[in-house]
Structure 1
Amino acid sequence: MGVDNRQIQTAVLADPESDDPVVCPTDADELDEFREEFSGTTFWCGILLGGCGGQLLTRRGNVRVSHFAHFPDPDGVLPSCGRRSRGVASADHLYVRAATQGWLRGQGHTPRYRYIDRDDAPVGSLVEIVLSGHTLLLHMDRTMPPDWDAAEADDIILGPGVQIDHRTLARRGYVNRVRFVSEGNQRVMMLGTELPHVGTDWDFELADCTVDEHGRLITPVVTRLRAARADEGQTPLPRPRGEAVEGPVQIGALTRLIDTAVREKETGAVRQLRDAAELQVHRCEGQALEHLQRAIDHANDWIGQQDRTRRRFFTRLDEAVRHSHVFEVSTLTPQIRRFILRDEVTTPQETGILDAADTLLGEARRLAAQERRKAEARRAAQVQEREARRAAQAEEREALRATQAEERRARRAAEAQEREAQLVAQAQERKARNRARGQVQSITGRLRREELSANEQKQLIEDLVLAAKEAGDLLSADEQRKVDKWTEKLTEKSGQDAAGKASPAVKPQQDKITIPAELPAHLASTAAAVRGALKKAARGRTTTSWDRLEHQLGSALPPLSSTERIQILVQIDRPTAGDEPLLSSLLAAGDPHFACQYYRHVLAALGLDAPDDDEDLRDVVEADAEQVFTDRRFR
């Protein structure tokens, strides 16, 4: 990125065409307060400041003073701009409006401001204030002498350093001046009035001044001067060169006027007074003649020195014009014009050199204006390109956001549909289990109340076992005990019947479930799924049942025989340490029927002892389940 070394102290606010100026504080701490005051406001290299119209930023000074600097373009290239090391005074012409608008409106005027921008008068040189058909012209550029005779303004006010020759000042009697002083990041306007051989009086306020009906600025000094002239008449002025002196001339006053004109470097006045003094030589004698001759010699020496300086200036300017050294011509021309401003006599050769210089500078300004317009066109094209690129990027981002939003909506819809399906399935399961619980209550009531045959009782008890299995943990402890009681009666009845039919020599044998040493390969994935479900239940501190596992695992848990279920649980708990509870205890705790019928086989296959009494077994299972909850809490 380029570094802007142009130390610009002034800018305008809000946009490049603005006439609202601001000054950048040079102190680093003051710059911090300035940034806070103007936060959210943009700064520009204003067109009315003679700038390029580019945006500016504030740069904190460490070695140099703080100042404004140009924003580089996206490629890091700084804009072409002729403003360099422009001090706070470069925006004084814009502060004219801020200083005078309220003051003029208070006098009943409606002022309009125009900042003249011509090839011969760069922007900021001349400021016109139009007031109801009258015009005040502020001449702000010290390098451009005012044309008192050609000016169409009702009153001309001179800016800082703008010179007026002694003869014009004496003829006019006074001239009003304006200057600006800094207060914080603003510039305050002061008015003054210059009188011949007196200087400029700044000792009054803007509120003490008015604009009369002829469009002239009236200050307290002008008011006093008009009153004095009305009472005493006009003070005699020095006669033009070659004109005979009428009446007696005071030699002492004449020598003092010559010394004053030399001291103030008024070349034209010195020539005029010298000529007047030479006309008085024949009238003088003695000490008066000696004083007069000394004043004439002093005037001649000073005029000779000025003539030599003048010749050197014009020689250098002529050489620079012939070699088209624009910078040197632009530097010498205002110096020469300020120099000859005090001496109105110019030779045709000097006039030709100045005309040639003006032509060269005019052409240079025209070419510079062309380059400025080209640069502005390039910047406009770059801005348009950046805007198009940003618009395309914004469109891409919007399309991406729309796609992502659509995907999120689809995902949320799918999740909602899945949740809805789960809720429906859970509702159906709860309904079926509630219906099964009602069947359990109905069957146990019939078994208790009705006189049933052995076959009817057996069939009802088998139906009771199936209904209890489907109801699962919805059964209360009392309902589960009733189911277990009738199940045990059915088992005892079957055992007695079998014993009565068997040979007395043969001892009754219980059904046995043979557990192979290795789990069949086709059950490996099923064992892994059941193991995961049991671990999840342990972390959630809940028991489970085969019905719940079937609903939870779906196709991952196919229909299994009792032997296969026991094989899977043995495979799951085989790695369990001897002092740790079994994961399958969660299944036994949640399914009492499973605990009584099959859990003993799991314990036996793992080489563990089980209580003979079913109530004692349930106590062991519940204790093991609680221990599983504790051990698996943080796994």
Structure 2
Amino acid sequence: MRGDKRQIQTAVLGSADSEEPLMLPLEAIELDAFRQQHEHDTFWCGLLLGGCGVRLTTKLYTDRVCHFAHIPGLDGLSHHCGRSARGVASADHLYVKSAARSWLRSLEEEADFDFARPDGVAIGSVVDIRLKTRGLRVHLDQAVAPVWEEDGVEPVLGVSVPVDRDTLIRRWYVHRVRLDSEGTARRVRIGTEAFARPTEWFALDECEMTERGLSTPAVEQIVRSRSVRPASPWGAGRTVKTPPAHVRAQTLLRQLAEARRVGSVVVVTRVCRDMAALTEVEGELQDQLSGAVAAADRWLEEQAQTRQELFHDLAQAIAWQEVGQVCPLLVRANAIASHDRTEAEMAIADDAAECLDTHARQRQAEVAAVRAAQAEERARDEADRVKKLLDTLESRGIGQPRQAMREMVKDLICAAAGAGAYVDAQQRKQVELWRRRADGAGALAQIARQKRASPPARAARLKRASLLHEQVGRRSWFKEPCPRCDAAKGRHCFNDDDSGGRDRRPLPHEERLQLIISTRNARPEQTTQRPPSQPQSASPVWRVKDVTCPECDAAPGSNCTTPDGRPHQRRETHFRRRFHSP
């Protein structure tokens, strides 16, 4: 069985049955800080996330989003997990529970929480919050249809859960829930949606529980704007005095006009039924009711025809794959024909949604392909830039001013980083060599600045940090043969360090300069300390550390990077071949 390849963006902390969720940052630069923050924590594919309960690790990528991954078993094979929800919203039910518990505690309210699974739906679709005398049912997706007439339980809808305008008109308002990503957490916000009013969003601490149920500042404004308060879903039924027949008739006429104006078929049908049942009126008012019902019947026939044409056009747009037509037609169908759909109409609407989803996925794939091609083109351009910079540095890099050389090397390092895999191992080695040279030039520039700032100490500092080629006069550079490249006396050194083939070097090798310095330093000592019977000799005694290490690139006179500072075997072999070969 093949494993699910979708990326896991959420996990729980501490154990498989934990209720403490967290979300992984998508960018590599944020994941480094995330790892430091949670270096002592463990991440799990939580059971309350519908996961398998296996421990997770973090995966860092620079060319795609970062994500969690299952830790492989002892056999090294990838783990199969049947978890269905893996995106950033897959732990929203845990965030809702945590936020609601904290909010209710601040209101001194006790509540029980349950991740209900009616009809076996996936965990996380519904969160039940039960208080002493009332409760809330939070619908995070469309898997469970909200029940509006259930006593003591108020539905709170996720942003993707639809609600028809008839419900909005009848109930005055409905509540919604939204979760916004903030760092590695999700922030809960409550919205109030009313008919012909935009949804207004509030933080949880701006909401309260009243006798009507969940209330927001927007609810208070809606209630004040109405002349008649809506029936409370929480309390017991109250006896309401029935208004006179002529008052009810006038009210029904106004409701019918309003319903036709907004295009509500359900309300028009219900009001016409109520008008037909109103038998206590007579005369002119009865004639108005009869005329209004007749006009409404004709309007309903027109709406039925319009609805039939709408779904016909939608089906035709799906068949011809006209996505530009499918989207507005589906929006219109959801707005004016969301009630009492036939099986054929539901099938057409489902096909339209699938068509839009397929188009969105194709569009995303196309955008990803374009971005990948652009990234590859940028990498190739940077690789060409690396080659040009290396050629320029090899031709005139050392001989030019230090600052110019360092700026060019800085550009080289940036270009190599952007080129990625298009820079081969040979070029990377050259880039690293020029980086070390630039670091040396920078150190020398710092010595020069210190020399100007502190004249008494400049001689000692310059002697400690100066490069070898500045300790030997130019006319003396080639007085001795080079022990590294075997260049003869009086001849220039040539490249043998993979930085430019066998081209002539503008400066001699460090070993050649060290030989000249050692010879120069050895002459006075041997002249003053040699016995009179021994002839004077200026030949220095060479040590292994006087040659560059081919293993770790340790400079002449420096120890190798081994734990005890002893030279590498390749350095000893290089030394014997240079100075002890017959």
Asked if TM exceeds 0.5, the reply is no
Higher RCO structure (Cα 8 Å, ≥6 apart): 1
Report the TM-score, using the length of structure 2 for normalisation: 0.44
Q: Going by fraction, where is helix more abundant, 1 or 2?
A: 1
TM-score by length of 1: 0.41
Q: Which has the larger radius of gyration?
A: 1
